[in-house]
Amino acid sequence: MKVFINDKEYNANPDETIIELCDKVGIHIPRFCYHKHLSVVASCRMCLVDVEGVKYAQPACSTPLRDEMRVSTGSEKTKIAQKNSMEFLLINHPLDCPICDQGGECELQDISLEHGDDHSQYMQFKRVVVDKDISPLISTDMTRCIHCSRCVRFGEEISNVKELGLLNRGEDMKIDVFIEEGVSSELSANMIDLCPVGALNNKPYRYKARTWDLKQICGISPHDCIGSNINYHIYNNKIVRAVPSENSEINQTWLSDRDRFGYEGIYAKDRAEKTLIKVDGKLVEIDFDSMSHQVNDLISKNIKEYGQENIGCLISGQSTSEEHFLFQKIFKKLGITNIDHRTKESDFSYQDSYPIMPSLGCNLNDLKKYKNIILVGVNVKTEYPVLSIRLNALAKNNTKVYSFNFNSLEENFSLHHKQIITHDNIDLFLNTSNFSLENGETLFIIGPSVSRSPNQSSILRKISEFSSSIDANIGFLTEFCNSTSGWLLGNLPHRELGGGKPRQIGKNSYEMIKSHLSSYIFYNLEPEFDFFNKQDLEHALDTSKCNIFFTSYITPIIEKYADIIIPITTFAETDGGYINIEGTYQTFQPIVQPSKNIHVGWSILNDILKLNNLGDYSIDEIRGELAESLDGLNFSTPVSDMSDINSNNDMENVIVHDLSRETNETDLIVRRSESLRQVSLMNKKINNKNIISQSDNLQTNVTK
Ligand code: SF4
Ligand code: FES
């Protein structure tokens, strides 16, 4: 279809609107209510443009193009129409830009400067809207609201959690919360980005800096395996804010609240900032420069005294791929086979039949090819909020989503069938009568509650047998953001880098803890939360002869049992990379500089490698070798058969209990985010209130 914009000819698709084509070819049209991911309401009238042959200017966001249409985005008619709309929009706006956090990045400010007038005919008092404290994450100045309804449509269409609504009409129209307690969903802060004025703002960032003073560096989410792209904003070497970095393949334009506010955890009070060594039962500080020698001497001494088989090496699935690469390299070359990253698991009979790494089995954009998606052991809403946006869109588009989980947590998309796995139905839930799969391809997505189950092998075998019988594929969602690297790079007792078999099989994490080894080396792990059984771990730490902790935080257990504490960088202070659940390796650079006594994680591992004459790498050399050793591996192929899993546990003996994680409490950084902790408290209050009101209803019914 041939159309003319400003007298230039363009080819347009049949159902394209004027604004869509103009955005595609780079012609600017001002807008407030329009957003490419939201439905079109055409309420603000800011996008009015001159269409040849039509008496009045037309909204570009809702006017479809037709053959031979001629549009002018800069004619006098367009300019007057846009100026008039601007004047109406500013009638009640307080024009308080100097004290507004949105100043400098405000769509209203920019558009009024470009398309508005410098005076108003409106001489009456402006209306004022009283503010409410709606969330620990979002501050409101509702007098600034221009009623574009983007925030409302986000809740209705994208997150599927209706938290804000438009109340009343005319002069009394206002945005307000649906539930009195406020806004607390896992994606709520996306409304801050959507708001084109300063009505909804980032509360923890409030008055911290002006936007033009910020430096922006792109990072990758360390909080889930989706790998959302994030722009961190830095002021005086401190992260003050995080916003989404658009990536249409991964997080589109969205970010979970966890990804947005998790960075607060790097400024926690218990950050490890000194290298400490235990002398006469007390931790004393040692010199920064001699630290690598001291750690290396300690490791050599342990190997000599207790033998390699009595040393256990454990690394977090949240560590970077570069750290994973060096960690396995050092300890495998030193002859240690007890290496693992799966610290929250206890049943490992599945491990020989497991794919080379856990993977979703397809790209996120390709999920749409599946007509049936069966979730097992995962609550997407709380554990992978950004993924829930995609599943919501798929569920609306006729994909049948099923959920089988150990708890009753709600999802924010419609489920075709939902079942809580209990002792009575564990063997029965994989039953064709629970599904209507006749309409196309099927994908199982196995979540972290399965991997943390003491009988995960039985469950995996059962799913594998069933999926083979219905010709379905299997994909995974992992507990940590980079468990993929743990598998792929060989931080396992039974596999080498790239999936090869080692000469000797070592102990898995559970065996290491249970068998009370002489010495343990922990990398980036929090003993209080990152292990299958905290009591067992404490017992093992108590009986061991030496405990070495590479850590970003000093927790009470670390303080009590550590023989040496090496303070290491978090994701924000180092070069690194994560392999997301699609198999995409995304790298990042340091966002801020660490304080002077903190060691860069990969660099200290490299020092140990060097001291043992086992190699010496730059970050680029690590990445080069890492990419070389993984080249040609097809780890994104969906798994279809794991039925040869060796499982000693029959399904009847499967231990069923609620393995769900507390909302927002996923990793050691998120746990320390004060804003997210407040949201968590708010959610608990809402849940308690719901329980009380449900029991009130019950009592009323009983009385009746
Ligand atoms: S609060 Fe912001 S996003 Fe919501 S309607 Fe008002 S201006 Fe639009
Ligand atoms: S952007 Fe078109 S009417 Fe609001």
Taking only the tens place, the pLDDT of each residue in 136-164 is 999 999 999 999 999 999 999 999 999 99
Mutation probe of ligand 2 site: the residue of 22, 47, 73 with most atoms within 8 A of C-beta? 47
CATH number of the domain bearing residue 668 = 3.40.228.10
CA 192, 232, 223, 670 dihedral sign is negative
Per-residue pLDDT reduced to its tens digit, 260-274: 999 999 999 999 999
Q: What is the model's pLDDT at position 288?
A: 82
Contact 154, 191 (CB under 8 A): yes
Which residue has its alpha carbon closest to ligand 1 atom 2? 195
Last residue of a domain, one of 89, 110, 144: 89
195 lines ligand 1 (CB under 6 A): yes
145 lines ligand 1 (CB under 6 A): yes
Q: What is the model's pLDDT at position 703?
A: 46
- Helix, strand, or coil (residue 51): strand
Q: Could you tell me which residue, 421 or 57, shows the higher pLDDT?
A: 57
* Residue 284 in domain: yes
CATH number of the domain bearing residue 607 = 3.40.50.740
Q: Are residues 653 and 606 in the same domain?
A: no
* Residue 450 in domain: yes
CB hemisphere CA count around 698 (13 angstroms): 6
Q: How many CB atoms lie within 10 A of CB 535?
A: 8
Q: Are residues 337 and 427 in the same domain?
A: no
Mutation probe of ligand 1 site: the residue of 193, 197, 201 with most atoms within 8 A of C-beta? 197
Q: Are residues 581 and 661 in the same domain?
A: no
| Vertex 513 angle, CA 554 and 664, to 5° | 50
Last residue of a domain, one of 601, 617, 633: 617
* Residue 254 in domain: no
Q: Read off the pLDDT band of 641 (50, 70, 90).
A: low
* Residue 330 in domain: yes
Ligand nearest to the CA of 147: 1
18 lines ligand 1 (CB under 6 A): no
Cα–Cα separations (whole angstroms), residue 311 to 319, 529, 536: 20, 22, 17
Any residues with Cβ below 6 Å from ligand 2, and which? 31-34, 42-47, 59, 61
Q: Are residues 487 and 609 in the same domain?
A: yes
User: For the chain, what's the residue count?
Assistant: 704
Q: Are residues 613 and 516 in the same domain?
A: yes
Q: What is the model's pLDDT at position 695?
A: 56
User: Structurally, how many domains does the chain consist of?
Assistant: 3
- Helix, strand, or coil (residue 629): helix
**Would you state the structure tokens that stand for residue 42, as one six-digit string?**
């055409």
* Residue 471 in domain: yes
569 lines ligand 1 (CB under 6 A): no
| Vertex 509 angle, CA 344 and 538, to 5° | 75
Q: Are residues 526 and 610 in the same domain?
A: yes
Backbone torsions φ then ψ of 284, nearest 5 degrees: -125, 150
Cα–Cα separations (whole angstroms), residue 642 to 480, 511, 700: 22, 23, 52
Q: Are residues 365 and 472 in the same domain?
A: yes
Q: Are residues 449 and 507 in the same domain?
A: no
Q: Which atom number of ligand 1 is nearest to the Cα of residue 152?
A: 4
Determine the structural domain holding residue 291 and report its residue range.
276-341+483-491+500-617
Which residues lie below 8 Å from residue 333, measured CB to CB, with a gap of 6+?
A: 609, 612, 614
Query: Would you give the DSSP letter of residue 232?
Result: E
Per-residue pLDDT reduced to its tens digit, 356-377: 999 998 999 999 999 999 999 9
Backbone torsions φ then ψ of 112, nearest 5 degrees: -70, -30
Q: Are residues 388 and 413 in the same domain?
A: yes
Last residue of a domain, one of 617, 634, 659: 617
- Ligand 2 midpoint to CA 45 (Å): 5
Q: Are residues 326 and 369 in the same domain?
A: no
* Residue 652 in domain: yes
Q: Are residues 375 and 410 in the same domain?
A: yes
- Bridge-based pairing state of the strands 400-405 and 417-420: parallel
- Give me the residue label for tokens 């990072």: 219
Q: What is the model's pLDDT at position 696?
A: 59
Q: Read off the pLDDT band of 409 (50, 70, 90).
A: confident
478 lines ligand 1 (CB under 6 A): no
Contact 225, 483 (CB under 8 A): yes
* Residue 654 in domain: yes
Q: How many CB atoms lie within 10 A of CB 387?
A: 24
- Helix, strand, or coil (residue 333): helix
CATH number of the domain bearing residue 71 = 3.10.20.740
**Would you state the structure tokens that stand for residue 184, as one six-digit string?**
């607390």
b/e 418-439 (16+ beta carbons within 10 angstroms → b): eeebeeeebeebbeeebbebee
Q: Are residues 515 and 597 in the same domain?
A: yes
pTM: 0.93
- Ligand 2 midpoint to CA 187 (Å): 25
Q: Which atom number of ligand 1 is nearest to the Cα of residue 164?
A: 4
* Residue 174 in domain: no
**Would you state the structure tokens that stand for residue 300, as one six-digit string?**
């050599």
- Bridge-based pairing state of the strands 48-51 and 58-59: antiparallel
Per-residue pLDDT reduced to its tens digit, 69-106: 999 999 999 999 999 999 999 999 999 999 999 999 99
677 lines ligand 1 (CB under 6 A): no
Which residue has its alpha carbon closest to ligand 1 atom 6? 145
- Beta-sheet strand order (sheet of 519-523): 282-285, 276-279, 564-567, 546-551, 519-523, 311-315, 339-340
Backbone torsions φ then ψ of 577, nearest 5 degrees: -165, 155
Could you give the CA distance from residue 681 to residue 412 in angstroms, rounded to a whole number? Answer: 20
Which residue has its alpha carbon closest to ligand 1 atom 4? 151
In this model, does residue 664 exceed pLDDT 50?
no
